[in-house]
Structures are given as structure tokens and as C-alpha cells.
Amino acid sequence: MKLFSLLSIFLLTFGLSGCILFDEDKSFAWPDVTESECNFDNNKNLTCSPYLDGFDVPHMSAIHPENDELWIIDLNGLILSWDGFSLFKVANLSFLISNCHFEQGLLGFVFDENFNSTNQVLLSYVKKGPCDGDNESNLFLASAIIDNSGILNISSIKIIQEIYQPYRNHNGGYLQSIGDNKYLWGIGDGGGSLDPHSNAQDTSTPLGTILLFSFIDNEIYPVPGETNFDSLVLHNGLRNPWRFDFDNNNNRLWVTDVGEKCWEEVNLLSINESANLGWPKREGLHKVHSNGYTNENGTCYYDEDAPLASDDFTDPITSYIHEGGNCSITGGFWMNWGPKSIQDRYLYGDFCTGSIWTLREVEGIWTDEYIGSFQGMIVGFGRGLSDEILIFTWDGTIYSLN
């Protein structure tokens, strides 16, 4: 479709600061960045095309509530607006955020539901800190004002919430508006291998949860009657809810939780009733043993006759194993828009293989369907200005499916 190089913008506006560290889970090694390619074999007559390139790690987008613009969020702190012809720099927050680890950075962005009167946006990011030694960079929720020229006013940034992060990975950070002045914020378990402090099962901490809150006068508040433990917590027992999507027509929440050694999962949850997804006691449907695997012999295959960790956990509606190169789930959208061949389905993919699937309900049973393989590392999906499906890749390129 449209291909535009951002190299000159980046050279002028951004220099990556900080060092890149290994994952706190020493058993996991991040794969090398590979160059993506729009080679999409599929059975849904979808066309894959280059959209934009030259980013660092673009991972999400948001359509401006008033203007015909697509705002693109990069982990490095850059926010750019695309009107279909040219790019406009909205903000460079690299001075504010930490990039010591692959999973740190500017993680979430959403327009205030009352943007037409407030000009406010919400930001979720890991704040800059030293890259040596123990982690000193926490996860922050902040508000900011977009001035009349369309630029984020740096002096208007106000910290609303700070969440302690014991390690550098598993920050979550995704933000979504769900209407009626309600917002969701995904929080990882705090990192480390196998959630060493069992944060996701500790109801006294927000780690390993999805929070639900109202945003009023630069403060956040629990939504009465709709959160658990008299707090902001809606769902807990999560490892790293990198992406989720709210289907407002059916009042349900699609949550993909990134697994550790064995299983990736998709969960379908209520927005009105809290759920515990079981991490770190289980991954997918399967009990996690002390070796970190779902089988005591150090493999991921599972004995179906073996008991689960607890009947109190909410089951995912589908999961897939770490085999064939699959390593980490990237959630997408409930498709009530976009190409007709995949509407009324949930779209998701895998970071390492570029495989993309949909889930649809057939006679009351959710069935997954492989729709194609994209040659690239998928870090996120987005919605384009003309209802294209956008694919954000780890090598800095954005592609479209339509």
C-alpha cells in the first residue's frame, strides 16, 4: 500500500539510550531480529502489503477521535500521526522511558473518551532508570494534553499511578477504553522466571492482573460493583497480558496471556465478573511443575488424566504448544470490522513464526483456524484508516492485510 521511510526523522529526533539486558528468565533467550517480508500464504484471499517502515518497534496504533489520523506508538517513546500521505511527529518521550530491556518502553496509549473537551491522552510506560544492577524502573500511568497544534505538551504530563516492578520484564502496560468512561490496564506479573513471588495469585498486589478503572479529573477510581477485592483489579492470575480487546456488542473481553515454557493461551472473559486464570500454578489448561514445564519429565506434553492445579481457575478457550517455532502469542482483535472473510472472529498470531489464526464460534464451540503465515516477528496488530488489519513487526516495519 503506502511505504514511507522514517529514517531521517529518527536520526534527528531519537537516539536509543540504555543497554539491552538479558531476560530475567535465564532459561529464555530472545531470538535475533529477523527481517520481515510480506509473503502471506492464506486461504482467505487476503492481500498483504507494506504500509510504513523505518520505525524502531512500532507495536500499537489508535485512530484519532476527531481527525482522520492514525497515531502510531513505538516502544522507544516516539508517537507519530499518519494521515495517509505524510507523518507528523506528535511526541518524543525517549527522555522519559526506559529501554534497558526489550519489554520496557512506551507500552500503552489511549485517547481520553472526552478528548473533544479535555484534549487529554493516557500513557503507560516504564520510567527511565539505571540499566545496571537491580531494576529501578517502575510502570507508570500518566495523562498528558495535546495542544492545539497537535503536539503532546511535555510539561502537561501528570503521573497518576505507579506500579512497582521487581524485574525488568513482564510489564504488560496495554491500555484500552471500553466506553462509559471506563478503561482497562494490563499489568504483568513483575517478571522473573515462574513468577517467583507468586504475584499473580497475591490479591494485595496489582501485578499479574487486568485493572478496570474510571478516569475523572486526572484521577482513577474503582468502578463500583465491577471489580474484585474492593480495588481496581478485574482479573488476576495472568503472566503477561500483552494484548486484549473488548467486544462491546457482547460485553466480553478477549485476553491473550503470554506463556513461559510451554503453552500460549486465549481467554474469553466477562467484563462484569472477575476471573482467576491460574498463573503461576498453571499455564493454559495444564499444571506447572517446579521445573517450569507442564510435565514432570521436563516436556510440555500433558497427561489428560492428570488433575489440574485447581477447579477454581477460569479455563482458556484455546491454547497452543511451543512447537514448530511458536514461542509467544500476540493478541489482536474481535473482528467486527475489516475483511469480510474473517469478520465475527477473534484474530491473533505468534511472535516468532508469524502464524496468524482466527477463532470463531461454530454451534457453541470455539474453533481455531489457521489463516496464513506472515514472514516476520509480530509484536502487535492495529486497525488502519481504511479498516485494514495492520501488522506491527519487531524489525520496525508495518504491513497491512485487506
Of 99, 166, 91, 89, which Cα lies nearest the Cα of 123?
A: 91
Map residue 12 onto helix, strand or coil.
helix
Residue 385: per-residue pLDDT: 96
C-alpha 2/C-alpha 72 separation (Å) is 15
- Residues 211 and 238: beta-carbon distance below 8 Å: no
Task: Give the total number of structural domains in the chain.
Answer: 1
C-alpha cell at position 320: 497452543
Provide block-wise average pLDDT over 10 residues at a time, the chain (402 residues): 38 33 50 78 86 96 97 98 97 96 96 96 97 96 97 98 96 96 97 95 95 94 67 95 95 96 96 94 92 92 63 91 95 96 96 95 93 91 96 95 92
Is 0.95 surpassed by the pTM of this model?
Answer: no
Residue 144: per-residue pLDDT: 98
Residue 12: per-residue pLDDT: 34
The CATH number assigned to the domain holding 393 equals 2.120.10.30
Residue 245: per-residue pLDDT: 98
Domain that holds residue 336: 7-401
| Cα torsion angle, 132, 393, 316, 318, sign | negative
Residue 2: per-residue pLDDT: 41
Residue 229: per-residue pLDDT: 45
C-alpha 287/C-alpha 296 separation (Å) is 10
Residue 34: per-residue pLDDT: 74
Residue 378 lies in a domain: yes
Residue 1 lies in a domain: no
Beta-bridged to residue 287, according to DSSP, are 282
Residue 2 lies in a domain: no
- Residues 172 and 241: beta-carbon distance below 8 Å: yes
Residue 373 lies in a domain: yes
Residue 360 lies in a domain: yes
| Ramachandran category for residue 180: left, alpha or beta (phi over 0 → left; psi -120 to 50 → alpha) | left
Residue 189 lies in a domain: yes
For the segment 302-346, what is each residue's pLDDT rounded down to a tens digit? 766 655 556 689 999 999 999 999 999 999 999 999 999 999 999
